[in-house]
Structure 1
């Protein structure tokens, strides 16, 4: 990774992170993916008493196709059980295919179970914190939420499952969505500082465009 790409990617990474202090809530809401560290972190939060139950939401996405023997949500739930979370405290929503879908289908699941949590802790990857919270605020405004992620630095995040290239591509795609999704009614407005958008443009010009949505700005 060149110095210019590194600096720009770090700017975007820092923008996505919100660093919200955690308070005990009614429900841990985990938006699943290919990163099992999110499942492990959510289980740790449960075991520390941050909420009385966990919802894992997610089907199979482009990145997780063939990675797990079941849906993302089911795989994450199995990890939580192995770490000591009681099965009766886990709810699984295995059908959602994007962030908005996670929220809509989880809301439906909780209604079916006659559960009405008022305060949520959203658990996500570090570079998806901001868009996750913005999406939740738009689609479920009657509830209160905070967002958190495994305490990993930019330099620590990449591993044998998620490369630096994959990470930067997703970060860039999420920033594009943060900029343009509010006009489509998908999320709340977020201020994007000039330096952050310049970093985005630098990374797109450098070829990190795998997760961009075509014609989204039109």
Structure 2
């Protein structure tokens, strides 16, 4: 049973992970690969709404997507976009990236090779990855304005869609930890975490929601 305090803390982390950006017209929309086809759907909606003339889908496979997306996350995203009526000429695929940093670096290389001038980009991700993806992009691609976007879902609806309460909370905790430790490792720009969010994160760690935490070189969970 998930306690009321745990749900409250998880909701606080969810709200922090969202950037609450208002989408506007950008040079390109970049869909970051994952298990969630909702990322592709959101990118298509932005394209249809005239928010970007070009879509880039980036991602190889991971242990969580290998069976579901055997041809690679970006390839499956592209197929989804074409099914939804996006013309092939409006989609580029970057099929090598295996983490968020590579998503950004390889997408940048792909667009530069294609001669696309990028001054702004819609960064489309899972909801709880908005802030981390944005901080990573600002570190690796300075000079570009990044606007974060994700499926417009409430926390409750997202939990219902995953059908695993504990897994969702574990993912929220893991994403928050990375916001705190990755800037010091040079992976992203610093994005300060408010004290009340840190306190919620620490309570969730003490409650055992730690399966998605990264560890240091000694195997110690970083908090």
TM-score (norm 2): 0.93
Q: Secondary structure at the match of 1:175?
A: helix
5 Å-filtered alignment, 1:27-176, equals 27-159=28-160, 161=162, 163-176=164-177
Distance 1:59 1:202 in 2: 34
In the TM superposition, what is the alpha-carbon distance from 1:16 to its structure 2 partner? 0.5
RMSD of aligned residue pairs (Cα, Å): 1.5
In the TM superposition, what is the alpha-carbon distance from 1:159 to its structure 2 partner? 4.3
Q: Secondary structure at the match of 1:100?
A: helix
What is aligned with 1:191? Answer: 192
Gaps of 5+ in 1: none
Q: Stretches of 4+ moved more than 4 A in 1? A: 159-162
Q: Deviations over 1:159-205 (max 9, x none)?
A: 45562222211111111110111111111111111111111111111
Q: Deviations over 1:39-92 (max 9, x none)?
A: 111111101111101000011123212112310111111111111110110000
Distance 1:159 1:85 in 2: 29
Q: Greater shift after overlay, 109-118 or 51-60?
A: 109-118
Q: Secondary structure at the match of 1:136?
A: helix
What is aligned with 2:211? Answer: 210
Gaps of 5+ in 2: none
In the TM superposition, what is the alpha-carbon distance from 1:113 to its structure 2 partner? 1.5
Distance 1:110 1:211 in 2: 32
Task: Assess, with a 3 A threshold, how the Cα gap between structure 1 residues 162 and 64 changes in structure 2: closer, same or farther.
Answer: farther
Q: Greater shift after overlay, 57-66 or 31-40?
A: 57-66
Distance 1:103 1:162 in 2: 30
Distance 2:22 2:54 in 1: 19
